[in-house]
Chains A and B, each alone.
Chain A
Amino acid sequence: MAVEAFFAARRRISIPFMLAAIAGLVALLPLLGVITTALFGETADIAARDIFRYAATSAWLALFVGGATAVLGTLAAWLIVMHRFPGSDIFAWALALPLAVPAFALAYAYTDLFDVAGPLRMTMRGNMGFDLPFGMRGLGGAVFVLSFAFYPYVYLAMRAAFLNQSVNVTEAARTLGCDGWLALYRVALPMARPALAAGVALAVMETLADYGAVQFLNVQTLTTGIVRAWSVYGSTVSAARLALPLLATAALLLWIERRGRPGRLHEAGNARWRTLPVKNLSGRRAWLASAFCLLLITAGLLLPVGWLLFNALDTSPDWTRLLRAGSHSLMLGIMGSAVTVALATMLALGTRRLPMAARLASLGYATPGAVMAIGLLVPAGIIWNLMPDSGYIIAIALLIYAYAARLMAAALEPIDAGLTRVTPSMIHAARSLGRSETSSALAVELPVARGAMLTASLIVFIDVLKELPATLILRPFDFDTLAVVANNYALDERLEQAGTPSILIILLSLPAVIWLTRKIAFSRPGT
């Protein structure tokens, strides 16, 4: 079928298809850069035992973080959508707030807070005579930190999916004796599987690509090996080679995710919507629900950010520098999200018959930042050599390009999901009503996916604010972003000073996050 669809697409090379091909190429260029780097050149010899250990650590980390985000995000979404309990209206949007906190900032805060020699545990040992039986550094700590950093991806996806579930099916399940948690497990969850897969895929890809947090938490993943190959042996070639299995794994994950989907779930135009049956919780169950939500927000936002804030109070930040960095972050965030979403939309529209091709372009998201940097240097090198005097504008353009290549998946997932609302027959109807393929894409698909595009741009915006490796390596002269400033302080082991820029990142992303979650609440039609 796929082959046939491919040839059908080939036969008429339409404008949307061409645009999609261009967008896909844009996203894949750095990865091609990684592959060419890996294929040509000398390698350093890194102990096979180490590589195996890195790979195993990466695998465990991805597995545990994937599992934890799936459970936390799904539970939170189910509680919020199907129940009322004290604070549930606030939790509905507050649960997504940790999205605004960069994973590396969480890592700074937690390692500092729970360090053996940190003030908390020193006080505990000194005054209370006992110590915490765990530390933050290590695999467990990394799973903890990354799970609370990334669960909002699952929460947002699942909340939207639960909100859009059919009441009829839920009620049918009830008449068959399937209610409450059983209904979640046997009916709502299977129906929301595409959303779960999409959310967990984002979380796992972020986990695989993370360097800042795991490095800080002393967990040596494949990325560690890549950075070691690069910085100790000075071999970008072996770094690129180490990245190849990671890319292959990411590709495999994407393929599995795609295969697992039971076709596109269309929201039929004639489905009739009714208000979801919301259950009022009371007594101990209500408090349990509130406590669970509060725990998520505390662990993902209040505690670490509070600690950063508390520590930052003692410092006297260089405000002019921070404000300048902040304006750069904001500018890059806005331009980066606009360009990324435009490219992702082109890709999504042009490849509706070739979903796997679109998936390939998402690989940048799962690629460790350091590797992406190596790959990005290939196209960047071409530009630098073609335009020796390329100034500020070119440098910014390169940076924006890097974001698009790296964050394509974050934009593609929601847009793709939004486009499932457009059934093939709607397109055919538009065609029969005198619109060409391009025109019907503009008149039907784009407007229907408008909400999804906004969601995508906000997610990309937040991700750009947090982005480090590409920014570090490609930025022009005298150009800091908040993430860069925070990273500089952290590298220099000055956590107190890293706090202020981290908090500024959170403040900048907060409006976007809040807006995002409120929008989802109103996404259910007919209510």
Chain B
Amino acid sequence: MTVPSLTARDVSRIYENRNAVANATLKLHAGRITCLLGPSGCGKSTLLRLVAGLEPVDSGEIEIGGTIVSAPGKTVAPEDRGIGLVFQDFALFPHLSVADNIGFGLKNLPASQRRERVMTLLAQFHLEALADKWPHTLSGGEQQRVAIARALARSPSVLLLDEPFSGLDGHLRATVRQSVLADLRTTGTAVLIVTHDPEEAMLIADELALMAGGRILQTGSPPECYLRPVSIEAARLLGEATILPVRISGGVANTPFGIIPAPEMPDGEANAMIRPEALRFDMAGVPVKVVDVRFGGAFQTVTLAAQDLMITARMSGTSLPEVGAQICVSLDPARTVIYPS
């Protein structure tokens, strides 16, 4: 892998004796999209502000392109870091046209070069027709494109986006997201997107950073994080998961819903994390009782019970089991993880 465009090493930020960010380490790479995912209040926005230089770090350091830009007692101002910022509310300047908004950061370029650069960006983000429009006349998706084009005008090595898609209407959101990200990848910038939506994060990220309580729990590719979360907390961040207490004997965990191989675990008590889609119909599996069935189009959400334990399963197939019926199921070991208790 290449040298990271940005490295945050063990950075902390303390608010009134509370660690808003605690020893967070994060690396951003050119041309790759990193998603910082966590529930609201987990410190992800603060971490973004630390990276942007809007707040000083209390410990640790941040390095961009080989230069330390943040360290205790030292904060290079946001304007001198070579980063781009896109805000949740887009923060377009209401007194400037679309073209002038995009050209805002290019104050030091001669007029001709400046115009050229603005034209390039307008084209790149399909905004040519809107160049002379006022921000308040644009749709949400258009405003977002302008905000991103503006942030990229100075060719920053790092682009930071704070909840960029949350201001968009539901049905627009997917299409806008897709095209914007496609355009973004062509720029070769290291991108950090802060979001609280796990599905969105997994869809768009090359790399995920899971955050909770001010700490970064795990970094890795979406499948890595989803299928092999380092902790129950991390597992829950990315999607539904049922946690069952299990007993391991002889490298195998026995659950009422099937067995899970656990070759490296010693015998004894443990916890099993089971994703809903780990359960599948299996005539050779264990019998369980169907408690509830919900039709969901591509799959059904089925609640199963065995030995006083309940589990939610997401099962494909067209034939719906009936409530009260007994079916036989087994577990897909790829979608389960055993944690020592």
- Selected from B79, B94, B151, the residue in CB contact (under 8 A) with A435 is B79
Would A428 and B52 be within 8 Å (CB), given that A433-B105, A443-B104 are in contact? yes
Would A425 and B79 be within 8 Å (CB), given that A447-B95, A525-B94 are in contact? no
- Selected from B89, B140, B147, B151, the residue in CB contact (under 8 A) with A423 is B89
Contact partners of A525 in chain B: CB under 8 A: 94, 134, 136
Q: Are B143 and A270 in contact (CB under 8 A)?
A: yes
One digit per residue, 1 when the CB lies within 8 angstroms of any chain A CB and 0 when it does not, for chain B 59-101 equals 0000000000000000001111101110111111111100000
The answer, yes or no, to whether B251 is at the interface (CB within 8 Å) is: no
Q: Are B94 and A448 in contact (CB under 8 A)?
A: yes
Question: Measured between alpha carbons, how far is A59 from B52 in the docked complex, in Å?
Answer: 51
One digit per residue, 1 when the CB lies within 8 angstroms of any chain A CB and 0 when it does not, for chain B 174-190 equals 00000000000000000
Q: Are A269 and B89 in contact (CB under 8 A)?
A: yes
A434: nearest chain-B partner, CB-CB: B79
The answer, yes or no, to whether A182 is at the interface (CB within 8 Å) is: no
Contact partners of A22 in chain B: CB under 8 A: none
Question: Measured between alpha carbons, how far is A433 from B156 in the docked complex, in Å?
Answer: 9
Q: Are B89 and A436 in contact (CB under 8 A)?
A: no
One digit per residue, 1 when the CB lies within 8 angstroms of any chain B CB and 0 when it does not, for chain A 186-217 equals 00000000000000000000000000000000
Residues 234-279 of A at the B interface (beta carbon under 8 Å)? 266, 268-273
The answer, yes or no, to whether A421 is at the interface (CB within 8 Å) is: yes
Nearest chain A CB to B167 CB, angstrom units:
6
Q: Are A432 and B95 in contact (CB under 8 A)?
A: no
Contact partners of A444 in chain B: CB under 8 A: 93, 95
Q: Are B95 and A425 in contact (CB under 8 A)?
A: no
Contact partners of B79 in chain A: CB under 8 A: 431-436
Q: Are B54 and A428 in contact (CB under 8 A)?
A: yes
Contact partners of A518 in chain B: CB under 8 A: none
Residues 409-441 of A at the B interface (beta carbon under 8 Å)? 421, 423, 425-426, 428-436
One digit per residue, 1 when the CB lies within 8 angstroms of any chain A CB and 0 when it does not, for chain B 138-155 equals 001001000100110110
- Selected from B81, B93, B107, the residue in CB contact (under 8 A) with A426 is B93
The answer, yes or no, to whether A526 is at the interface (CB within 8 Å) is: yes
Q: Are B91 and A429 in contact (CB under 8 A)?
A: yes
Would A270 and B151 be within 8 Å (CB), given that A429-B85, A434-B107 are in contact? no
Question: Measured between alpha carbons, how far is A450 from B95 in the docked complex, in Å?
Answer: 10
Question: Measured between alpha carbons, how far is A26 from B296 in the docked complex, in Å?
Answer: 69
Q: How many residues on the B side are at the interface (Cβ–Cβ under 8 A)?
A: 37
- Selected from A425, A430, A448, the residue in CB contact (under 8 A) with B89 is A425
Question: Measured between alpha carbons, how far is A444 from B104 in the docked complex, in Å?
Answer: 10
B159: nearest chain-A partner, CB-CB: A432
Contact partners of B85 in chain A: CB under 8 A: 428-429, 432
Contact partners of B150 in chain A: CB under 8 A: 429, 433
Question: Measured between alpha carbons, how far is A270 from B143 in the docked complex, in Å?
Answer: 7
Q: Are A433 and B52 in contact (CB under 8 A)?
A: no
- Selected from B78, B95, B140, the residue in CB contact (under 8 A) with A270 is B140
The answer, yes or no, to whether B319 is at the interface (CB within 8 Å) is: no
Residues 229-282 of B at the A interface (beta carbon under 8 Å)? none
Q: Are A273 and B136 in contact (CB under 8 A)?
A: yes
Q: Are B78 and A269 in contact (CB under 8 A)?
A: no
Question: Measured between alpha carbons, how far is A435 from B105 in the docked complex, in Å?
Answer: 8
The answer, yes or no, to whether B135 is at the interface (CB within 8 Å) is: yes
Q: Are A428 and B91 in contact (CB under 8 A)?
A: yes
Contact partners of B318 in chain A: CB under 8 A: none
A266, A268, A270 pick with most chain B CB within 10 angstroms: A270
- Selected from A269, A272, A430, A432, the residue in CB contact (under 8 A) with B94 is A269
B81, B135, B136, B150 pick with most chain A CB within 10 angstroms: B136
A4, A431, A450 pick with most chain B CB within 10 angstroms: A431
Contact partners of B137 in chain A: CB under 8 A: 526
A424: nearest chain-B partner, CB-CB: B91
Nearest chain B CB to A65 CB, angstrom units:
36
Nearest chain B CB to A486 CB, angstrom units:
41
Q: Are A432 and B84 in contact (CB under 8 A)?
A: yes
Nearest chain B CB to A256 CB, angstrom units:
27
B84, B94, B108, B143 pick with most chain A CB within 10 angstroms: B94
Contact partners of A433 in chain B: CB under 8 A: 79, 84, 104-105, 150-151, 153-154
Q: Are A432 and B89 in contact (CB under 8 A)?
A: no
Would A270 and B83 be within 8 Å (CB), given that A423-B91, A425-B89 are in contact? no
A437: nearest chain-B partner, CB-CB: B77
Nearest chain B CB to A309 CB, angstrom units:
43
Question: Measured between alpha carbons, how far is A432 from B81 in the docked complex, in Å?
Answer: 8
Question: Measured between alpha carbons, how far is A433 from B134 in the docked complex, in Å?
Answer: 20
Nearest chain A CB to B182 CB, angstrom units:
22
Contact partners of A272 in chain B: CB under 8 A: 136
Q: Are A268 and B83 in contact (CB under 8 A)?
A: no
Question: Measured between alpha carbons, how far is A432 from B151 in the docked complex, in Å?
Answer: 8
Contact partners of A448 in chain B: CB under 8 A: 93-95
Q: Are B136 and A432 in contact (CB under 8 A)?
A: no
Contact partners of B81 in chain A: CB under 8 A: 432
A451: nearest chain-B partner, CB-CB: B95
Would A431 and B94 be within 8 Å (CB), given that A270-B140, A425-B87 are in contact? no
Nearest chain B CB to A267 CB, angstrom units:
8
Question: Measured between alpha carbons, how far is A142 from B89 in the docked complex, in Å?
Answer: 48
Contact partners of A447 in chain B: CB under 8 A: 93, 95-96
Question: Measured between alpha carbons, how far is A444 from B94 in the docked complex, in Å?
Answer: 9
Q: Are A429 and B136 in contact (CB under 8 A)?
A: no
Q: Are A432 and B143 in contact (CB under 8 A)?
A: no
Q: Are A526 and B136 in contact (CB under 8 A)?
A: yes
Residues 443-482 of A at the B interface (beta carbon under 8 Å)? 443-444, 447-448, 450
Q: Are B52 and A432 in contact (CB under 8 A)?
A: yes
A444: nearest chain-B partner, CB-CB: B93
Question: Measured between alpha carbons, how far is A270 from B87 in the docked complex, in Å?
Answer: 12
Question: Measured between alpha carbons, how far is A490 from B151 in the docked complex, in Å?
Answer: 63
A273, A428, A525 pick with most chain B CB within 10 angstroms: A428
Residue numbers of B with Cβ under 8 A of A are 16, 52, 54, 77-81, 83-85, 87-96, 104-105, 107-108, 134-137, 140, 143, 147, 150-151, 153-154, 167
| Cross-chain pairs A/B with CB under 8 angstroms, 14 sampled | A269-B90, A269-B94, A269-B143, A270-B90, A270-B140, A273-B136, A423-B89, A426-B91, A426-B92, A428-B52, A429-B147, A431-B77, A432-B81, A448-B93
Closest 3 interchain pairs by CB?
A: A433-B105, A425-B91, A432-B85
> Given contacts A266-B89, A429-B91, could you give 19 more A-B pairs where the C-beta distance is less than 8 Å?
A268-B89, A269-B90, A269-B91, A269-B143, A271-B136, A273-B136, A423-B89, A428-B78, A429-B87, A430-B93, A431-B54, A432-B85, A433-B104, A433-B151, A434-B107, A443-B107, A447-B93, A525-B94, A526-B136
